[in-house]
Amino acid sequence: MQKDDFSKSYVVEGKLALPYTYFAGRVGSRFLTTLRDHKTIMGVRCDTCSKVFVPPRQTCERCFSDIRDNWVTLENKGELINFTVVREADKHLPRKTPYILGLIRLDGADTPMVHIIEGIEPDKIAEGMRVRAVFAGESEGTILEIAHFEIVPPCGMRSRQISTNS
Amino acid sequence: MSEYYGIDVDDVFNTMASRFRPEGAEGVDAVFGYDITEKGKWKLSVGQGRMALDITEDLSGCDVVVRVDEQTFAGIIAGKLDAMAALSANKMKVEGDFNLFAVTGKIFTKYVPPGQEVEPEQELVMLKRTISVNQRFATGPIMGTFLQGLKEKTILAIKCPGCGRLQSPPREICAPCRIRNDSWVEIGPAGEMRMLEYCYYASPDPLTGETRETPYGAIGVLLDGCKDNEVFWHLLNPQQLNDVRMGMVMGDKVVHGTRLRPVWSANRTGSINDIKYFEIDE
């Protein structure tokens, strides 16, 4: 038998469906329902460590205090502290590639959250830019209640000037 | 003051105004009479999204009148007694437009006795989703030969030159001998049942993304020409799950299992699904 005889080799196309159930928990559910019903981003604060966590969590990661009821309301604006450009397309991804995933630290928060950045070319984006949440028109009860974050132009600049290639 | 089921009937009426739902009363224009035996009579007027309640002796002019004893009324309000059962047991009588009486459930929020109010349950978010992922499987020359065989309605096994073991579906290497398998043997296509697993939880088929119905039977068939543990795994006709017996070898004693034959798909593409399943061949 010729081991390098590939005349009978071929490729089978498949499609794998992955049904899953995601349970947000009590803290996560309150975060999502507040986003949906009040268009408000909330986090929880650990008074011992003076840290505000967004997305919220039940337990402080530093001192293990139970912080589930210590809610604070945050601004819809924040700072882009890091980002990545997604270039590999896959059909389960939320946007056509290339698109930008940013780590956003909201004003008043100590931890960053991940979301999509829109309205700027991937080669124009930079750490430290100011961003603002844009809420989705239709509600679906997920983190995509926030459609994406957009770049807030620095004082005196019009948004068009940074979102084009000129 | 008497109480049944922890409910004070006066309080049920006294709280009606605060429990009134204008949106539930939309389109309702009627006068309801309540005659609670040895307790009192109430006349409830609903119209134009508003309500008025009077304690009265005169229930004339009502569109519907409910006559009921205090205990039964309290039981229905508490959810301990069924209104229909009370009606058929003649503990409650409805005079007038019976259907009107049924809409009162919409006009008022449920009565909760004082001190028993509970915080509304928090809404919990649970998402059910299905991700679909495209996949490509390369058969390689060995699995490719086997699958092409299925297309021609033949089941091929690969043979180890060292120990003579047959493997189907085939692998390139005989794992115990660690040498390359080198020849093909046609086996079956009929054989005898060796093992049956009832599967109650089906994971999605990686080729189609579909999840088959449960329970189904995953079987090991000892195809003709094979021996020992050289079983071929496939599905059993789901209608015959309870009609087969397993075969086994225990020392010198051989118990033969049910004879099975493959049922081939009409449209064969070189896939393991070219065999639909095995069925009883006796």
Mean pLDDT of chain A: 88
pTM of the predicted protein model: 0.54
* B170 and B260 together in one domain: yes
Give the pLDDT score at A163: 46
Say how far apart CA B41 and CA B53 lie, in whole Å.
10
Structural domains in chain B (count): 2
Say whether both B99 and B181 belong to one domain. Answer: no
A19/B208 Cβ within 8 A: no
User: Does the distance separating the beta carbons of B148 and A11 come in below 8 Å?
Assistant: no
Q: Model confidence over B8-63: pLDDT tens digits?
A: 888 889 888 888 888 888 888 889 999 998 888 999 999 888 899 988 888 888 88
Rounded Cα distance between A31 and A23, Å, is 13
Could you tell me if B177 and B67 lie in one domain? no
Cβ–Cβ under 8 Å, residues A118 and A148:
yes
Q: Point out the residue among A15, A23, A26 whose CB comes nearest to the CB of B208.
A: A15
Of B107, B132, B167, which closes a domain?
B107
Contact B206 A16 (CB under 8 A): yes
Q: Which residues on chain A are in Cβ contact (under 8 Å) with B122?
A: 26, 29-30
What confidence score (pLDDT) does residue A156 get?
Answer: 55
Please tell me whether residues B192 and B97 are part of one structural domain.
no
Distance CA B210, CA A13 (A): 14
For residues B187 and B257, membership in a common domain is answered with yes
Average pLDDT over residues A138-148: 85
Q: Domain span at residue B77?
A: 9-107
* End-to-end Cα separation, chain A, in angstroms: 63
Mutate: best of A5, A7, A10, A29, partner B, most B CBs <10 A: A10
Cβ–Cβ under 8 Å, residues B212 and B238: no
Residue B14 maps to which CATH number?
3.30.1050.10
Helix (H) or strand (E) holding B76: helix B70-78
- The verdict on B138 touching A (C-beta cutoff 8 Å) is yes
Torsion of CA B267, B271, B277, B282, to 10 degrees: 80
CB contact under 8 A, A22 and B126: yes
B139/chain A closest Cα distance in angstroms: 6
The residue behind tokens 């089921």 is: B5
